[in-house]
């Protein structure tokens, strides 16, 4: 049987509300992640009992060790502070340990109203559930830190959105659900005891290497969280992922990608790409994600200031240099990532100009981001593709070629380096939409399953990969995503 632990629930009543999922009419398991289930040591006997799985992962059956809670959090949404958000349609069942002894949150999303629901129905439509499953599994296979999905259950009930849609509950597996917004919730209430508890819990759970006796190393924690965010957003940039709602309530302190709402993959390269229909100002545009990262980290730092020094002005002065250095830290990692995409094993002074020129060509010629880097990777050992890429990119291609050939590296090694950073396939928006549509209209998940099979090896061309490599006919310039609540 599954045995949950409940360390977050044990933090106390100010952190969460004890509340049970609202049972659904006719739960049916439509997606099950058996690889993840195995990693989480879900017993085989249970894995084979789809009816019981549907009962458990709809919240209809609460296992004895589960202590369902809705977590409290706040957050800055599009720059505006909302003092109370919280799990308005999610229940944390508890935590499971995997084979390596790592602890994972098992959370149902779409499982009914809680005291944080405000006007919402506590439910989730099937489309956003399938999107979260496909996108998070794709991101995981792309080696990008992310929450994952264990299951999707069709509830047998309908939800009212712009139209009436089938309802679903998605089971999310996360390193934890602590967000920058969780810290903000307590800081806004001047409950610094709870902020402190949360810092200690974060260190114990995510960053045990920071543990020290008798005190909490706040500055080291801040630096760690910043490092993890930089790694994460730079990894998004590497594959063209646009989160769409990088609000502080959607910023996980573990450094995982969380809350797949109006996210999308960039088609034609353009730093200003925005797909979310609610992001009118382009606050969360592709390239702006690197800047918002800093903005979100400053919100996190603000929560800890009174703990660093009760004289907040002094704390601010102490932190100013650290904050001032964030853009440099981001830029360094970002440029290193691009260098690797281009097969450069180390950076030389002129490389930044070269990299910028290549990206400018992509932008000016409206080239597909993934295809171009895939082709550049292939060009290392193909004359035909070399000619083709030269035609597309012009003189800058020759400059790049000269630069990589000047490295003390065999071409096989260069290609290997590039391939590690350039996927052959990504969860392209139009294919994700097709899989979602099938499920919405027929309840079938065959397209999603087939797509996921290809996405599970995004750096290797398999038998069916080519069917998913095609950019949208308009390069996705007319693509729009909607907040999937
Ligand atoms: P999200 O857009 O999923 O990140 O959610 C933002 C906030 O709105 C969170 O506090 C959610 O719990 C809440 N929320 C979103 N959708 C619903 C819903 N259908 N019912 C209740 N609360 C919701
Ligand atoms: Mg959210």
Can you tell me which atom of ligand 1 is nearest the CA of 87? 12
pLDDT band at 163 (very low <50, low <70, confident <90, very high): very high
pLDDT of residue 1: 83
Is the pLDDT reported for residue 261 higher than 90? yes
pLDDT band at 483 (very low <50, low <70, confident <90, very high): confident
**Ligand nearest to the CA of residue 120, numbered in listed order:** 1
Is 262 within 8 Å of 277 (Cβ atoms)?
yes
| pLDDT tens-digit series, residues 4-60 | 999 999 999 999 999 999 999 999 999 999 999 999 999 999 999 999 999 999 999
Active-site residues: which are they?
A: 249
pLDDT of residue 485: 52
Residue nearest ligand 1's atom 16 by CA: 485
**Ligand nearest to the CA of residue 174, numbered in listed order:** 2
pLDDT of residue 272: 98
Cα(485) to ligand 2 centroid in Å equals 10
pLDDT band at 200 (very low <50, low <70, confident <90, very high): very high
Is the pLDDT reported for residue 295 higher than 90? yes
pLDDT of residue 484: 60
Query: In the structure, which protein residues have their CB atom closer than 6 angstroms to any atom of ligand 1?
Result: 85-89, 116-117, 120-123, 250, 259, 261, 483, 485
For the residues 61-68, what does the mean pLDDT come to?
Answer: 98
pTM over 0.85: yes
| pLDDT tens-digit series, residues 365-393 | 999 999 999 999 999 999 999 999 999 99
For 44, counting Cβ atoms within 10 Å of its Cβ (0-12 exposed, 13-18 middle, 19+ buried), the class is exposed
pLDDT of residue 464: 97
For the residues 289-314, what does the mean pLDDT come to?
Answer: 98
Residue nearest ligand 1's atom 23 by CA: 88
Cα(86) to ligand 2 centroid in Å equals 9
Q: What crossing angle do the helices spanning 351-364 and 395-405 adopt, rounded to 10°?
A: 140
Cα(36) to ligand 2 centroid in Å equals 23
Is 183 within 8 Å of 162 (Cβ atoms)?
no
Can you tell me which atom of ligand 1 is nearest the CA of 247? 4
Mean pLDDT of the chain: 97
Q: What percent of the chain has pLDDT over 90?
A: 99
Out of 69, 71, 85, give the residue to mutate to test ligand 1, the one with the largest number of ligand atoms within 8 Å of its CB: 85
**Ligand nearest to the CA of residue 248, numbered in listed order:** 2
pLDDT band at 482 (very low <50, low <70, confident <90, very high): confident
For the residues 326-350, what does the mean pLDDT come to?
Answer: 98
For the residues 68-92, what does the mean pLDDT come to?
Answer: 98
For the residues 56-67, what does the mean pLDDT come to?
Answer: 98
Cα(282) to ligand 1 centroid in Å equals 22
Cα(109) to ligand 1 centroid in Å equals 10
For the residues 93-115, what does the mean pLDDT come to?
Answer: 98
Is the pLDDT reported for residue 343 higher than 60? yes
Residue nearest ligand 1's atom 6 by CA: 85
Beta-strand relationship, 241-242 and 69-71:
unpaired
Can you tell me which atom of ligand 1 is nearest the CA of 85? 10
Is 458 within 8 Å of 135 (Cβ atoms)?
no
| pLDDT tens-digit series, residues 121-149 | 999 999 999 999 999 999 999 999 999 99
Can you tell me which atom of ligand 1 is nearest the CA of 124? 19
Residue nearest ligand 1's atom 22 by CA: 88
């Amino acid at each position: 049987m599954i045995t949950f632990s409940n360390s977050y629930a044990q933090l106390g009543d100010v952190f969460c509300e004890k509340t049970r999922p609202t049972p659904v009419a006719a739960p049916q398991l439509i997606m099950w992640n058996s690889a993840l289930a195995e990693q989480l040591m879900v017993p085989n006997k249970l894995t084979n009992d789809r009816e019981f799985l549907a009962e458990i992962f709809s919240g209809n059956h609460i296992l004895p060790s589960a202590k369902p809670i809705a977590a409290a959090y706040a957050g800055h949404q599009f720059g505006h502070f909302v003092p109370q958000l919280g799990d308005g349609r999610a229940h944390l069942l508890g935590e499971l340990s995997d084979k390596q002894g790592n602890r994972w949150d098992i959370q149902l999303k779409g499982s009914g109203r809680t005291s944080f629901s405000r006007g919402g129905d506590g439910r989730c439509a099937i489309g956003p559930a399938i999107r979260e499953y496909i996108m998070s599994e794709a991101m995981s296979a792309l080696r990008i830190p992310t929450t994952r999905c264990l299951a999707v259950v069709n509830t047998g009930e309908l939800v009212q959105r712009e139209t009436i849609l089938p309802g679903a509950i998605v089971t999310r597996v996360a390193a934890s659900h602590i967000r920058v917004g969780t810290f903000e919730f307590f800081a806004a209430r001047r409950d610094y005891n709870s902020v402190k508890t949360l810092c200690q819990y974060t260190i114990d759970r995510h960053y045990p290497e920071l543990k020290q006796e008798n005190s909490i190393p706040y500055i080291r924690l801040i630096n760690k969280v910043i490092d993890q965010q930089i790694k994460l957003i730079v990894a998004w940039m590497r594959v063209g992922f646009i989160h769409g709602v990088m609000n502080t309530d959607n910023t996980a302190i573990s450094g995982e990608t969380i809350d797949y709402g109006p996210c999308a993959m960039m088609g034609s390269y353009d730093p200003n790409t925005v797909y979310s229909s609610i992001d009118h100002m382009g606050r969360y545009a592709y390239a702006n994600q690197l800047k918002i990262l800093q903005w979100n980290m400053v919100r996190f730092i603000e929560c800890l200031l009174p703990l660093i020094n009760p004289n907040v002005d002094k704390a601010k002065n102490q932190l100013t240099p650290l904050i001032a250095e964030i853009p440099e830290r981001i830029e360094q990692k970002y440029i290193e990532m691009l260098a690797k995409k281009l097969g450069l094993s180390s950076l030389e002074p002129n490389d930044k100009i070269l990299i910028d020129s290549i990206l400018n060509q992509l932008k000016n010629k409206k080239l597909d981001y993934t295809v171009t880097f895939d082709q550049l990777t292939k060009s290392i050992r193909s004359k035909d593709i070399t000619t083709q890429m030269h035609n597309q990119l012009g003189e800058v291609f020759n400059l790049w070629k000269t630069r990589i050939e000047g490295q003390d590296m065999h071409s096989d090694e260069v290609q290997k380096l590039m391939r590690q950073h350039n996927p052959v396939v990504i969860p392209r928006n139009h294919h994700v939409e097709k899989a979602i549509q099938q499920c919405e209209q027929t309840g079938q998940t065959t397209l999603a399953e087939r797509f996921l099979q290809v996405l599970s090896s995004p750096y290797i061309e398999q038998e069916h990969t080519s069917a998913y490599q095609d950019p949208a006919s308009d390069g996705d310039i007319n693509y729009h995503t909607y907040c999937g609540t």
